[in-house]
């Protein structure tokens, strides 16, 4: 059964810092990996989707990479801002079931 781990569980950084969030998974037979953002009390907002054949995806200040062989993905946030404060979750969709498995998220605080 696929297991998804996100480290660290919480992160606090000063504004302007570049930062990396990590997501690891146990079964490399994935179809895709998706990064989400969740604000307190709200639903999940999709940030980036990386197909299994891709190595990375970029959107604005966000860049997500995927290394299937090592079971890892990173979400890079450039020049962080207080508005980036949220919980970031990754979800891995595995072959066969097509059911996404979620990590528990990294809670990010960017302070001015």
Partner 1 sequence: DVKVTQSSRYLVKRTGEKVFLECVQDMDHENMFWYRQDPGLGLRLIYFSYDVKMKEKGDIPEGYSVSREKKERFSLILESASTNQTSMYLCASRRQGDGGNTIYFGEGSWLTVV
Contact in structure between 87 and 37 (CB atoms under 8 Å): yes
Contact in structure between 65 and 74 (CB atoms under 8 Å): yes
**Which of 56, 32, 34 is CA-nearest to residue 44?**
34
Q: Does 93 bind partner 1 (CB under 8 A)?
A: yes
Task: Rank residues 34 and 80 by Cβ distance to partner 1 and give the closer one.
Answer: 34
Q: Does 95 bind partner 1 (CB under 8 A)?
A: yes
CA distance 7 to 17: 18
Task: Rank residues 79 and 99 by Cβ distance to partner 1 and give the closer one.
Answer: 99
Binding-residue pattern over the window 20 to 59 for partner 1, x denoting contact by CB under 8 A: -----------xx-x-x----xxxxxx--x-xx-------
Q: Given the rule CB under 8 A, which residues bind partner 1? A: 31-32, 34, 36, 41-46, 49, 51-52, 89, 91, 93, 95, 98-100, 102-105
């Amino acid at each position: 059964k696929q297991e998804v781990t996100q480290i660290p569980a919480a992160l606090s950084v000063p504004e302007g810092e570049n930062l990396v969030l990590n997501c690891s998974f146990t079964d490399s037979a994935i179809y895709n990996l998706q990064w989400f953002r969740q604000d307190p009390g709200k639903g999940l907002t999709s940030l980036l989707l990386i197909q299994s054949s891709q190595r990375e995806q970029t959107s604005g200040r966000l860049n997500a990479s995927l290394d299937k062989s090592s079971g890892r993905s990173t979400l890079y946030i450039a020049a962080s801002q207080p508005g980036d404060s949220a919980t970031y979750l990754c979800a891995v969709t595995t072959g066969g079931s097509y059911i996404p498995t979620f990590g528990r998220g990294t809670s990010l605080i960017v302070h001015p």
